[in-house]
Amino acid sequence: MRCQEKTGRSMKVVTAAEMREIDRKTIAECGISGIVLMERAGLAVTGRIKELFGRKNVIVVSGKGNNGGDGLVIARNLHNEGWEAGVVITSKPGDFKGDALSQYKTAVA
């Protein structure tokens, strides 16, 4: 696995299991923590949302897993930039674990 940013290339569609493995390898081989990976993913998606949609009201639907944690990062970033950003959480707060739990705690603080 190469640990560098690639730009200008088309994206590959992967399954959830493949994405978990990509995340695991990135964390293990590139020395990037899971929480930093989540923050970077959230920032990238936030930027893309702003490019595509301008300033609007958004609702982010988040589950208890790491994708849900990514969604919480996105909502927080948009909110911090002045957007009306709401969050619908599809699980109980006690179901969050790991990095997603950290993002949940940040969101409700």
Question: What confidence tens digit (pLDDT) does each residue in 18-60 have?
Answer: 988 988 998 999 989 999 999 999 999 999 999 988 878 999 9
68 pLDDT higher than 90: yes
| Spatial CB neighbours of 45, under 8 Å, sequence gap ≥ 6 | 70, 74
Output the CA torsion sign for 38, 44, 47, 51: negative
Both tokens of 61, joined, read: 């639907």
User: Which CATH class name applies to 16-108?
Assistant: alpha beta
Output the DSSP codes for 9-75.
Answer: -PPPP--HHHHHHHHHHHHHHH---HHHHHHHHHHHHHHHHHHHH-S-EEEEEE-SSHHHHHHHHHH
| pTM of the model as a whole | 0.83
pLDDT at 78: 96
